[in-house]
Amino acid sequence: MANWAQNKEMNVDAVIQQGCRIKKKKDYNKPMIGYDHSYSSRLNDLNIFSDFRRLLWFTGVHFRRCFSSSVWERDDWGLHCRGKKLRVGLRALSNMHSKISAGLAEICNGESDNGQALLRTALKVNESVVATQHHRQIPNLLAIMTLLRTDGRDRDYNTLTNPLSAHALEYLPSCDPRREVIPVLPRLPMDKEGGLYIAFDSFCRHAWMSAVDGDPLKAYYSYNQASFTSFYAGEFYNFFRKKQTHETQQTPRNADQGLGEESHEAFMI
């Protein structure tokens, strides 16, 4: 696998380059969310600023709580959040995201009936989506909302978001900080550049990398748990930013050694 990766030409397109905005690798003590004109004007609105600050605060509480209570414990390979129950929740989120993306693509290609059928199936919010404690839950829900809003699907957006708050109160324990987080998500404005989403994704990645000790490659894979980013590039590719070609080519070798040669996890890396 490592040899195969070494022989592939490495290209990074402009979208990914634009998304890679981490300040300095390994410097997790400095702020990860910098000034960005694409969404700064929105945060001048005190209501939006208050909601976004509330989202960050309670998300941080949720992250600390899950780490301290070993909900996000590591397995024998040193990977976090790989337990069966958490993976079931991630699968539910991924299926929702994939069906919505496929439905929007069908509509765009003129297959409105097929697209609407996919959207109706995908937008049925269930307990698996709301109750899962997987660390990708909140970023993925916000990504899905941003996808619908930027595509002009306001009706479908409301179909998704209206039940979320009620389900959060129904399925989540009274002490769960996500009871405060989930109702805030639909109130955030969505723009085509995904500015607030990218800022939130940066915050979550910073919180994750600050809390996870050990091999940074395993911490990186544990957060993403996917082969490619499914929405805005954000900081998905920051692990490879500013690395020399030989350093990037060494990554799959390290994955083979640390995650098991020809394992699913090594193949994703």
In terms of residue numbers, what domain contains 61? Answer: 50-213
**The residue type at 132:** T
pLDDT of residue 252: 80
Over residues 124-149, the mean pLDDT reads: 87
> Within a domain: residue 179?
yes
Query: Confidence band (pLDDT; 50, 70, 90) for 191?
Result: low
Q: Which residue has the tokens 């082969």?
A: 227
CA distances from 104 to 121, 142, 156, 217 (A): 13, 17, 11, 34
Percentage of the residues of the chain whose pLDDT score is greater than 70: 79
pLDDT of residue 42: 67
Number of domains in the chain: 1
Query: Confidence band (pLDDT; 50, 70, 90) for 66?
Result: very high
pLDDT in tens, 239-249: 778 888 888 88
pLDDT of residue 32: 44
CA nearest neighbour of 252 among 1, 33, 44 = 1
Over residues 5-22, the mean pLDDT reads: 37
> Within a domain: residue 85?
yes
Over residues 176-180, the mean pLDDT reads: 94
pLDDT of residue 72: 93
> Within a domain: residue 26?
no
CA nearest neighbour of 146 among 101, 208, 81, 99 = 101
Point out which residues pair with 74 in neighbouring strands. Answer: 80
The answer on pLDDT for 14 being more than 50 is no
> Within a domain: residue 118?
yes
pTM of the model: 0.75
> Within a domain: residue 161?
yes
> Within a domain: residue 268?
no
> Within a domain: residue 145?
yes
The answer on pLDDT for 265 being more than 60 is yes
> Within a domain: residue 251?
no
Query: Confidence band (pLDDT; 50, 70, 90) for 221?
Result: confident
